[in-house]
Structure 1
Amino acid sequence: MMMRAYGLAVDNIIDARIAIASGEVLDRGSMGEDLFWALRGGGGASFGIILSYKLKLLQVPPKVTVFNIDKLLEQGAVKLLTKWQQIAYNLDKRLFIRVQLQVVDRNHRSSSKTLMATFQSLFLGEQTELLSLMAESFPELGVKSEDCMELSWIRSVLSIAGYPPGGSLKKLLDRKPQYHNLFKTKSDFLRMPFNEDVWEVISAWLVGQNEFPYVIIDPFGEEWTKLQ
């Protein structure tokens, strides 16, 4: 969730070692920039056995701030989603706000299904500054101090991953998945924003499905605009 400030993880790889079919072990200098570029996004295993990556370390502030705010359709979720889409890519680059759309069944009856939009945020700074930024750029969401949690960056990783933020950091080293549900997923890039009418149609379609669809929408901008 720091991609708007620092780009993707692959943008911060500064070297790699790869064993190719001839048995040679190459680094960035000996493999050339074309292969180095491909290793970072073209499926590295297609070109050889990747032995290691060297990553650039990034500086984070002592405290970051997170929030999760849920809004149902009847609470104006579509209007908020439309506004978010217009501003999220152009906010302060330290501020990342994604939207998660999920169908929820409040009373275990098909007639009670509705759509919930969760606005999930990570801000690389303290709560006071975040509240000021939100009041200026997205007052409609109504973020308050009680919605926010200020903690260290590594604790925010726990929180965003779905663990209690005060839990053991060793959870991040556990290779076993926390959740054991199966799902099918598809990714796409939206180049032009949808208007409110389109989101109304999408919302109705999601709620009308027999399953419980889940949509994650991430904003880009800032560092992404510098990529060629």
Structure 2
Amino acid sequence: MTHQALIIAHGSPADPAPQEAALQALAAKVAALLPGWTVKGTTLATPGALETALADMANPLIYPFFMAEGWFTRTTLPKRLAAAGRTDLIQLPAFGHDPALPALLTKAAQAAVTNPAETTLILAAHGSQVSRASATITESIAAKLRQSAGFAAVLTGYVEEEPFLHHTARVVGPALCLPCFATSAGHVIDDIPEALEQAAFPGPLLPPIGAHPDVPALIARALQTGGQP
């Protein structure tokens, strides 16, 4: 039996090509860890890309490369799949809801500092004025990191809701900012650095967690287990 999976991200409507290429590269890394699997990657923002990717796939698992189970994973993506005539596919939980993600965030943050116990860790996330999905999963992750990651403090800051990142990032002393984003699109490239500059943030800014080298292995495990812990 041939196993198949399709990793789907939002992408960047204003400039879809780079994110489309990034998802295809991610899929290739996941496929390298899953002999016998066919794994593709695509974005919702690239016109026709989702439909093209599905055209020669019989029964792929759908892996949403999103940080939250919100509008895009629960409404937009199912509608797009249905419009492509694929209402029979299994959609796994979003990347941001993987039980292994807090440990990965901890690993990424701890590797970037000398003494976590003296460092403030800020988790930068999307947030929304409409939906609580982004904030809910981010606050849940932050609570887990406060219990086990060993940092002096773990704070959250959002691009589109309070507490806004440019307020949270006004800290004194050693600090670190880790974006809770799946891809390196507009908010990560522009908004987060601008907010940190506005706050005179004293620490470094890490790449988004979705770019961590361990992410392909995390996705591969999720595909093998059907999204179960």
Give me the TM-score of the superposition, normalised by structure 2.
0.24
**Structure showing greater Rg:** 1
Q: Which has the higher contact order (CA 8 A, sep 6+)?
A: 1
